[in-house]
A and B are shown apart, each in its own frame.
Chain A
Amino acid sequence: MSRPEIGTLEVRKIRREFGRVRAVDTLNLKVEKGEFLTLLGPSGCGKTTLLRMIAGLERPDTGSILISGLDMTHSPPERRPVNYVFQNYALFPHLNVERNIGFGLKVAGTNANEAEKRVSEAIAVVQLQGLELRRVDQLSGGQQQRVALARAIINKPDILLLDEPLGALDLKLRREMQYELRQLHRRLGSTFIYVTHDQEEALTMSDRIIVMRNGTIEQSGSPKDIYKVPATRFVAEFIGETNILLGTCIGSQVKLECGAEFEARAEVSGQVAVSVRPEDIWISINERKLSDKAVTLTGRIVDTLFLGSFNRHKIELDGGIMLTIQQAAINQNTPLPGDSVAVSWLPHDAVVLPV
């Protein structure tokens, strides 16, 4: 049991087509033991299909899957040391809470005392004490979610696969469960692979995020990297909010359509899209520069949203292009709609991407 590969995953050149749709397209992936990895992408990007192939619920057309170092490409789901938390929980409607959770032990032929002990442990972990004999259709969404989770972790999987497990919960409960899942991950120390289309959820929970699009990996990296240094325009726009400004780039000199020019570390040339996050843009009524290097443009505030700890401004630049800017709501003299303002950002906060 002490093989070092336990809890690792390797996916090699995997592909799956549904009719003419290529759900997962020749994809490679490696996951370390104990990692909390999130597969993030819009619906239809192939993230769930990939997860289902890892669990053995879907067969790949080509490619192979190694779980804990063993080739499991053709193993049925019951032979894989992974467990799956289904999006809509897929609880057994004919069994009560206790029996749902203990199902894996029952089919494995675990002896009754041992099974009973582990079920009550699992129930304690997900805090469902007192509901053991309840029918699952009499539980709230959050409680059903916990049953699904307990049913999966009781089998002590090397890798836990979670398919949008919080998608059906309301915002507040979702936040709470995000926190609890992190705790659980730390406690169990096993590998978690988590699928979601919610970029905020991905950012808060993961060690590493894989952004998927059209069945391929768009970018893989830590949440901070993905957010700060998106590899493509798609990633920049999908993760968080951003301003995309079009322009051209020659050498390291970027020239935007709206007039500004600046120097940037750019690996592309020709037509480019420059991404600047709303919180990286500074706004001032008098045209005070942020620094000498800062890129500065002028415009007019169209609308301002008050969001508690910060304000969000919609600004129409002199050229007609719209920008979104986020500014901490600390000072009293916030600019008002209609005001003429200067906006500026530091070149290193701008990411230059291919169009």
Chain B
Amino acid sequence: MATLPSLVLLTIGLFLPVGVFFFFSFWEARLFRLSRNWSIDRYSEVVSDQLYRGVIYDTLALAFFVATIVVFLAYICAYAMRFSVGPMRRILILFVVAPALASYLVRIYAWKTILSPNGVLNWLLMTMGLTDQPADLLGSLGLTVTFVHILFPIAFLPIYANLEAVNRDVIWAARDAGAGPIQTFVYVTLPLTKRSIVTAFLLVFILTAGDYVTPQLIGGRGSLMVGRVIYDQFGITGNFPLASALSFSLILAAVIFLALLFFVYRVLAALTSLVISPMISSLRFTPTPRLLGSIPWGKLLVGLMLLYLYFPLLLVAILSFNDLPIASFPFRGFTLKWYHEIFSDDVIRRSFVTSIQVACLVSILSVLIAVPGAFAVTRRHFVSKPAYLASVVLPISLPGVVIGFSILAVIRFLDWRPSLVSVVLGQTLYAFPFVLLIMTTALHDFNRTVEEAGRDLGCTYWGMLYRVMLPILLPVMLGASIIVFAISMDEFVITNFLVGSEPTLPTVIWSIMNRRGIPPTVNAVATILVAISLLFVISVAVYTLKSTNKRARVIRNWED
């Protein structure tokens, strides 16, 4: 029963649309109308066309490349954060989370500002006299750099959480048993964090493979990615069947690719244990030279990471005050005119209000739908629990372009029009899994005897929920709904498909970004958005840290 609201949402927002969308791939588009001639022609088109095949291959290769780099960097940084930074890391982690929750478009835009022909980097190169022509920095290289940056926090968080859960004494126990630092890492730390590495890799891989925004802004002319091609099928040609066939081909290709990868990994792992392990055993600890040993490498790395995460945002903010008609250097003088411009822009203002309304609605709905689900997951036994959990994480693990397109396809199919209703539906679908996961953790950690005490002291079940559980869980619920608020304010990938005549703020920003000769008004909007989201996330996190964790924190700090 408790899972019903979430199942209804999943059915309406995901299972039905994706199912219908799947049927589309067997139909045909003729002059902007669907004709229901069943065939697999779309798939053979995808397979036989050099362009589509190449695009799918390039996309998967890039996704693999990006995921590998991101996971590697994120692991090193998470490791440094976990083991070289003291109790301060519980605050620092918020600064890694904050840009991940808000500013998806802004961060891509920041890289466009840096990499485009008249952008910051080219300005720098030309001022220093290294080139006299703007270098072409967009394309594959630019794409990789941008993806690595925007997806870094997504890989960092699960790995960091996993490392945080590793008992430090377990690592010390390995050292104590005679393992050097390298052996300890290979035999203990790495195996204990394998799962989060896989999770992080998959997340980054999927998000890269399905993205259509970054290729549009950064990809330049040369590099195509499936996400963008799918998006173009909708935007330019309206060829839904082909878009659908491309989507499912992408998913199938990704699954095959990942299965292959897993197979290769197993073979490599087997070889490793035969060949590498004896080598590792012969490695003895060599003390680091005094000079190198005295540098706090870990703290340095964490500092660099934060710098890396924030410098593009900082750049966007600085340029928002620059009195130059394009968002680039040189700095001509301080001005607030871009801010004046956006505050007097009716479209931006209205879209901001729309976004806030949508975000409020999505927050409330997500909590209402997710909380009963979280109760069911933590407090009841039902056979289909693994299946339920798998479907719950589906909205965040499927490429947004597929979800958005599916819902839109159904709306078109029924001859309805996209509106704020579909926006709220799409965003709630995407946001409620976060609440469900947060609440599941909270309920899992919840001391169940408190519930029993409530019942023992005379409460009915519902009375206990209201008088005991609700007050205790309220801070968590509040925190979760504010995170959802931030996600909703920022959501673009799905929303872009589902907006009707009332655009949300990110979709308006998107349309400004796609104009030629970007004016720094985008920077002004972006700066305000980032500032708001930073403020929000940090205040919420500080509040929850203070109220729910005080005692635990004191104990943990002492142990550190």
Contacts and interface: CB of A to CB of B under 8 A. Distances in A.
Give the bracket for the number of chain B residues in contact with chain A.
20 to 34
B173 interface: yes
A83 B281 contact: no
Q: Which of B174, B177, B178 neighbours the largest number of chain A CB atoms within 10 Å of its CB?
A: B177
A86 B174 CA distance: 11
Contact of A90 (B169, B180, B183, B278): B169
Contacts of B346: none
Contacts of A82: 176
A98 to B, nearest CB: 14
Given A76-B180, A109-B278, A84 B285 contact: no
Contacts of A76: 175, 180-181, 285, 287
Interface in A96-128: 103-104, 106-109
A78 B180 contact: yes
B40 interface: no
A308 to B, nearest CB: 33
Contacts of B85: none
A193 to B, nearest CB: 14
Contact of B173 (A79, A86, A94, A108): A86
Interface string B268-296: 00000000001001100101000000000
Given A78-B175, A103-B179, A151-B177, A92 B170 contact: yes
Contact of B183 (A55, A84, A107): A107
A94 B191 CA distance: 7
B169 to A, nearest CB: 4
Nearest to A77: B175
A155 B177 contact: yes
Contacts of B331: none
A108 B187 CA distance: 13
Q: Which of A77, A91, A94, A104 neighbours the largest number of chain B CB atoms within 10 Å of its CB?
A: A77
A104 B282 CA distance: 14
B169 A107 contact: no
A103 B177 contact: yes
A103 B281 contact: no
A196 to B, nearest CB: 17
Q: Which of B173, B179, B188, B287 neighbours the largest number of chain A CB atoms within 10 Å of its CB?
A: B173
B81 to A, nearest CB: 20
B191 A104 contact: no
B344 to A, nearest CB: 53
A77 B188 CA distance: 16
B7 interface: no
A254 B111 CA distance: 85
B285 A79 contact: yes
A3 B251 CA distance: 68
Q: Which of A76, A88, A151 neighbours the largest number of chain B CB atoms within 10 Å of its CB?
A: A76
Contacts of A79: 285
A90 B173 contact: yes
Nearest to A88: B169
Interface in B159-209: 167, 169-170, 172-181, 183, 187-188, 191-192
A54 to B, nearest CB: 11
A151 B179 CA distance: 13
Nearest to A99: B187
Interface of A: 55-57, 76-79, 82-84, 86-88, 90-94, 103-104, 106-109, 151-152, 155
14 contacts: A56-B175, A76-B287, A78-B177, A91-B173, A94-B192, A103-B179, A104-B177, A106-B187, A106-B281, A107-B174, A107-B281, A108-B178, A109-B282, A152-B176
Lowest 9 CB-CB distances: which A-B pairs, in order? A104-B177, A90-B169, A109-B281, A107-B179, A77-B175, A90-B173, A84-B176, A90-B170, A94-B191
Given A92-B170, A92-B192, A155-B178, 12 more contacts: A56-B175, A56-B176, A57-B175, A78-B285, A82-B176, A84-B173, A86-B172, A94-B192, A103-B179, A103-B187, A109-B278, A151-B173
